[in-house]
Amino acid sequence: MTEDEFDTLVDDATHAVNNLIPDQYLEAMGENERSGLLISINDVLTAILRDIIAPGDET
């Protein structure tokens, strides 16, 4: 998997997780808080997925 493919995977997973959060919780957050939440989700998923899939790993 290339670095770009890995980044796309993480971004897709981040948005999938974000979409599972009920709107009532997201609507209560400000724009900066929602952005921070996406960044936090992205950071955690990156760490988890790097343990499973190393970018550049073709296996």
pTM of the model: 0.80
Query: Bigger pLDDT: 2 or 36?
Result: 36
Question: Of 8, 22, 17, which Cα lies nearest the Cα of 55?
Answer: 8
Residue 58 lies in a domain: no
DSSP the chain: --HHHHHHHHHHHHHHHHHHS-HHHHHTS-HHHHHHHHHHHHHHHHHHHHHH--TT---
Q: Which residues span the domain enclosing 14?
A: 3-52
Residue 18 lies in a domain: yes
Residue 45 lies in a domain: yes
pLDDT digits (tens, 9 = 90+) for 19-46: 999 999 999 999 999 999 999 999 999 9
Residue 59 lies in a domain: no
pLDDT band at 53 (very low <50, low <70, confident <90, very high): confident
For the chain, what is the domain count?
1
What pLDDT shows up at residue 2? 87
Residue 11 lies in a domain: yes
Residue 41 lies in a domain: yes
